[in-house]
Amino acid sequence: MMWLSSFCLEGIAGETMPIEFELASALKRLDAQTVPIAAICAATVAIARLGLLRGRQHTSNGLKYLQLHVPEYHEAQNYVEAPAVRDRGLITASGIADIEFARELFEELGVLSPNDRAVWVDIFRNAQLPDETRASPGFPSSFPASLVRFASSRSRTPAALFCNDSGGSAPSR
């Protein structure tokens, strides 16, 4: 059975409130089962509090941001100044790196070819369709089909942890 778990942490609440037991248990269980986990913005605080960053390269809204919100954080040697970082099934990103975050998700899940992922990033970063010579034949119309092929080939999908400062909600399962 395929499923997608997504949890929503509202901006400041995600930085200051305790992590609910159910969320903590689910994330630890998913990590132990090597289900990819993705966290962006304040969600990186939650996974830092749970110890999921331990021994993995990661990023967030800044090293000082993690140190401020997670006093028990001692992974500065693994912190990478980058918009998004992927290490052994864990994807982390700054709150302003939504496109890079998605690119890392695509790569982790094997969605699109490396070239098409780069073209996809260019499309959304620059708000322009690509030069036809850069994309693979059928791109972007092949994009939905590649997702369908991916979904039908996997028994598990990643858990995603989102920060949502707009007051909206994260995707539901």
Q: Are strands 90-93 and 84-87 parallel, antiparallel or unpaired?
A: antiparallel
Active site residue 8: no
Q: How far apart are CA 173 and CA 170, in angstroms?
A: 10
**Which of 38, 41, 160, 163 is the catalytic position?**
41
- 96-116 burial, b for 16+ CB within 10 Å, e for fewer? ebbbbbbbbbbebbebbeeeb
Q: How far apart are CA 111 and CA 146, in angstroms?
A: 6
Could you give the dihedral angle defined by the CA atoms of residues 114, 79, 158 and 42, in that order, rounded to the nearest 10 degrees? -120
Active site residues: 41
